[in-house]
A and B are shown apart, each in its own frame.
Chain A
Amino acid sequence: MEPVVTAIRQVPLEHYVALSFILFSIGLTGALFRRNTIIILMCLELMFNSVNLLLTAFSAHHSDPGGQVFVFFTMLVAAAEVTVGLAILVMMKRNVDSVDINQLNRLKG
């Protein structure tokens, strides 16, 4: 464990923050503006992992293992979320024969 932490610490914290910000923004933009549901799910994963990266970086720099433990939780939840998301995707493909998010407008008021 120790060598990994040392390795992480060799890069300054600001760089991690910047990278995370960029990754998160890409994910968010993709989630907002893409119409393909698979892409949207991937963008969600991207946002998750940008946050995970940030947690790991801070954890290493502050010598607090709590952040890294938390990452495992996040990954677990993300995995669960993806199974549900993909299931919805399969059902969507079967029902409306499309993965275009804008097809899901049945609840229009």
Chain B
Amino acid sequence: MNTTILAALVPGLPLLGAIVIAALRRSLKGNSAGLLGTLAIGSAFALSVMLFLGHDPAAGPYTAHLFNWIDIGGMHIPFAFQVDALSLTMMLIVTGVGTLIHLYSIGYMHDDARVSTFFALLNLFTFAMLLLVMGANYAITFIGWEGVGLCSYLLIGFWYTNPAYNYAARKAFVMNRIGDLGFVLGLAWLFNVTGSLTFTEVFDRVAGLGPDVLTGITLLLFVGAIGKSAQLPLFTWLPDAMAGPTPVSALIHAATMVTAGIYLIVRSSVLFELAPFTQDVVLYTGLVTALVAATIGVFQNDIKKVLAYSTVSQLGYMFVALGLGAYSAGMFHVTTHAFFKALLFLGAGSVIHALGGEQDIRRMGGLKGAIKVTHLTFLLGTLAIAGIPPFSGFFSKDAILANAFDRSPVLYALLLGGALITTFYMFRLYFLTFWGAYRGDKHPHESPAVMTVPLLVLAVLSVVGGLLNLPHVFGGHEPMKHFLAHAADGIGAERLHLEASTEWMLMGLSTALVVLVIALAHGRFAKKATLDPEADELPFLPRLLARKWYLDELYERLFEKPYGWLSTMFHRVGEGWVMVPLMNGAGRLTQRAGQVLRLAQTGNMSFYLFAMVAGIVVFLLMTLYGR
């Protein structure tokens, strides 16, 4: 089939699915909406695979030009998709993981009253995400960028009868908007200096720009990435976004949408390579976020919140990789993270499903006998994120750590510390959920096959995902790196200057420490029978972490409250003293003027005629003798 049609169908099918399901949502009964939605995404995945197989990486990017979208003066923005190594990677992740999560949602959402709306939104999200990753210019990417933000908002607040969920949705939307502002400003600046938004044209033209301009543009783009990918200081929306249904957390807030920031930077790697200052900002933002989020994760008691902070932390690792210029390592981690974090979220969803909505790990425990498949797959996901060889997370995290060691051992030590904290809280979560004695009062039951099959598939991917980019020391050829290298100069060109022996040593060190931390977590949590106290009863340091470093409170004091005061003041002064008198005055003036002027309407027809003739005569005289 024609590649252009194929490329257009990949986002087209989910859009069609969304429209059809939304239109028929009242008449679709039972599982039909879910099956339709899954079919749409599944077909998109099949088409992506066809595109992938038909793509010749050496031939460079293929542009699927659909039509001219904006064509005014010097502004030419075609509606076109770019099919290259990078977008294909993202397409396969989005549609592949998306299909599994759609399938899982059929089971998870089966007794929800608005299940059709749910699948319509999920399909719409996939469409927007595909636009984001496939766009051949920043404008298309931006449509997708806003589209996924909208779908995220709608799905976080899916259970809209709960005010707290609505608040979480609004928070996510507003925080993303802050990032989007940076993105838009960056795009405007970029267009101003290069005269184009098409990736290939922009990257050809930026070489001649001054370093200050490039630093400014890349910093603005990075602000957009911070918002979408939940990095400091804008990450607080992501944990709250767990208010949405669990498949949403898995698809949007773990596997795909939050990696949009990573994608944006990898896509713009040409710009970032020319702005070393921005790269450092990216690096340190990622580092601080990775550590801060990891420390918070240790003291969370909500099974989804732990995973949410883990996501923020892992995104931090990806940003570190990008800051180091190791784009392929970052994309590799995006891929493996999509596998194991989707697995963990879906596993958590299965646990929640089994316990009839319970999310607090203090009221779980001893579930490994009751829900065997969920337990096994969750364990595999936990091992993958902890970085135990030969699971996928080991390879991708090791690639980032090795690049960090190449830059500085201090950076390596910090990141390794973060990885150990990750291991600790993930195994705390695992042991508290599945080991020990059951501390709740529900009757756990295993989820149906429609939910466990996606778990099993993702578990297999989490285990063998490392093969996608097997490093040289294991006899691999880093196929993903070489594949991505075709997407843009710079990606995959990064060379590690480490001896094989050093790499072995680093891997051995991190593995040994991870095993040690697992043993520590086992000792502390495996047989735990007592409940942890509430956050307020903890000593200072744990309370600080359990309260998320008081960041939410800080933002409330710094921004929400002053904004509230400002609004009240504008309401009282601006509205009360200026606008209302002005508006009422204008109205009253019109009324008075009308009362005076209506007297001119005498009702005497002859007078009107006379006035008309007099007027004409006056005009005549003015034209003759005036001026």
* Contacting pair A105 B610 (CB below 8 A): no
Residues in B whose Cβ lies below 8 Å from that of A32: 606, 609-610, 613
* Contacting pair B603 A28 (CB below 8 A): no
A107 vs B598: C-alpha distance in the bound complex, in angstroms?
A: 10
Identity of the chain A residue whose Cβ is nearest the Cβ of B595 in the assembled complex: A109
* Contacting pair B613 A28 (CB below 8 A): yes
Residues in A whose Cβ lies below 8 Å from that of B613: 28, 32
Identity of the chain B residue whose Cβ is nearest the Cβ of A107 in the assembled complex: B603
Q: Bits for B588-627, please: 1 = Cβ < 8 Å to A, else 0.
A: 0000000001111111111001100100000000000000
A104 vs B606: C-alpha distance in the bound complex, in angstroms?
A: 10
Residues in B whose Cβ lies below 8 Å from that of A102: 604-606
* Contacting pair B605 A109 (CB below 8 A): no
* Contacting pair A108 B609 (CB below 8 A): no
Interface residues of A in 1-53 (CB under 8 A from B): 28, 31-33, 35
Identity of the chain A residue whose Cβ is nearest the Cβ of B602 in the assembled complex: A108
Q: Bits for B323-340, please: 1 = Cβ < 8 Å to A, else 0.
A: 000000000000000000
* Contacting pair A108 B601 (CB below 8 A): yes
CB distance from A85 to the nearest CB of B (A): 13
**For chain B, what secondary structure do more than half of its interface residues adopt (helix, strand, loop), or is it mixed?**
helix
Of A28, A33, A105, which contacts B604 at CB under 8 A?
A105
* Contacting pair A33 B603 (CB below 8 A): no
Is the CB of A94 closer than 8 A to any CB of chain B?
no
A107 vs B608: C-alpha distance in the bound complex, in angstroms?
A: 12
Is the CB of A101 closer than 8 A to any CB of chain B?
yes
Residues in B whose Cβ lies below 8 Å from that of A62: none
Identity of the chain B residue whose Cβ is nearest the Cβ of A101 in the assembled complex: B605
Residues in B whose Cβ lies below 8 Å from that of A31: 609
A35 vs B605: C-alpha distance in the bound complex, in angstroms?
A: 9
Interface residues of A in 83-100 (CB under 8 A from B): none
Residues in A whose Cβ lies below 8 Å from that of B599: 109
A16 vs B602: C-alpha distance in the bound complex, in angstroms?
A: 39
Identity of the chain B residue whose Cβ is nearest the Cβ of A34 in the assembled complex: B606
CB distance from A106 to the nearest CB of B (A): 7
Of B597, B601, B606, which contacts A107 at CB under 8 A?
B601
Residues in B whose Cβ lies below 8 Å from that of A104: 603, 605
Residues in B whose Cβ lies below 8 Å from that of A101: 605-606
* Contacting pair A109 B598 (CB below 8 A): yes
CB distance from B526 to the nearest CB of A (A): 93
Residues in A whose Cβ lies below 8 Å from that of B604: 102, 105
CB distance from B591 to the nearest CB of A (A): 14
A101 vs B600: C-alpha distance in the bound complex, in angstroms?
A: 18
With A28-B613, A32-B613 as given contacts, are A109 and B606 in contact (CB-CB < 8 Å)? no
6 smallest beta-carbon distances between A and B, as pairs: A108-B603, A105-B603, A109-B601, A109-B598, A101-B605, A104-B605
Interface positions of B (Cβ within 8 A of A): 597-606, 609-610, 613
Interface positions of A (Cβ within 8 A of B): 28, 31-33, 35, 101-102, 104-109
Given A32-B606, A109-B598: 11 more A-B contacts, CB < 8 Å: A31-B609, A32-B610, A35-B606, A102-B604, A105-B602, A106-B603, A107-B603, A108-B601, A108-B602, A109-B597, A109-B599
Please name 17 pairs of A and B residues whose Cβ atoms are closer than 8 Å in the assembled complex, sorted by A: A28-B613, A31-B609, A32-B606, A32-B613, A33-B606, A35-B606, A101-B606, A102-B604, A104-B605, A105-B603, A106-B603, A107-B601, A108-B601, A108-B603, A109-B599, A109-B600, A109-B603
